[in-house]
Amino acid sequence: MKILVTGANGYLGTGVVDRLIADGVEVIATDFCGDNVNKKARFIQADLFQLDDPYTYFDRPDVVLHMAWRDGFVHNSSRHFEDLPKHINFIQNIAVMGSMHEIGFFEGCITEHTPCWPQSNYGIAKDALRNATQLYAKQNHVQFQWLRGYYIVGNVARGSSIFSKLAAAAMEHKKTFPFTMGQNQFDFIDYEQFCEQVAAAVQQDEIDGIINICSGRPERLCDRVERFIQENGYDIKLEYGAFPDRPYDSKAVWGSSDKISQIMTKYHNK
């Protein structure tokens, strides 16, 4: 199997490329630069939106895992709308990295049938791309996978999540970290587990549609962050209440793990 990974030099892309290579997959990686990409991957530098025939340009891959997305953690960036038609033009037979932010404000377990009412530019753009990808796949009789990611926990300082920012603050020897009250409950998944689930999903074709990349259980943000500090031995304290909660964040939300559990069972038994 030959898999093209876009956004391969990013925080998530590098880990997924590593996992695919460990599984023996032939990986074609692309991004604006490849400084962080596994050297065992075949790296092709490109601006995806400037290619007339990306399928041929990237040597006709079996699967395209589209992870490239600018300003993913800047939820109200105007680039989400500016880039949306370019993403739509790029997609073909493809698996796309989605986000639980396309759901919007919701409380409870998110399934593939949960209605989407996104409340940020990022969520709106992601949801629109999901609909366009699903329609294209149906019209052209190709497989559609939308890999809906949740809250990823990793101690890589170059990321943009609260955990990456906390890791960066600890490396700078800061003693305090501004925080919300942390009472919201989210579905947290460790970075390595996230990469493994994404890699497993794109290597099989029996289960498709919307696939939650998740743990399947909720946990309070404050509990997970405090545990993250302990796990990494950071000498830093949280400043509770320094920031308000974002108005579009749900009080308790998590993903249904039914599909990914089936995929992972077969992945570990192969």
Q: Looking at the annotation, which residues are catalytic?
A: 122
CA distance 42 to 60: 13
What dihedral do alpha carbons 76, 94, 266, 199 form, nearest 10°? -60
**One-letter-per-residue 3-state SS of the chain:** CEEEEECCCCHHHHHHHHHHHHCCCEEEEEECCCCCCCCCCEEEECCHHHCCCHHHHCCCCCEEEECCCCCCCCCCCCHHHHHHHHHHHHCCCEEEEEEHHHCECCCEEECCCCCCECCCHHHHHHHHHHHHHHHHHHHHCCCEEEEEECEEECCCCCCCCHHHHHHHHHHCCCCEEECCCCCCEECEEEHHHHHHHHHHHHCCCCCCEEEEECCCCCEEHHHHHHHHHHHHCCCCEEECCCCCCCCCCCCEEEECCHHHHHHHHHHHHC
CA distance 52 to 24: 30
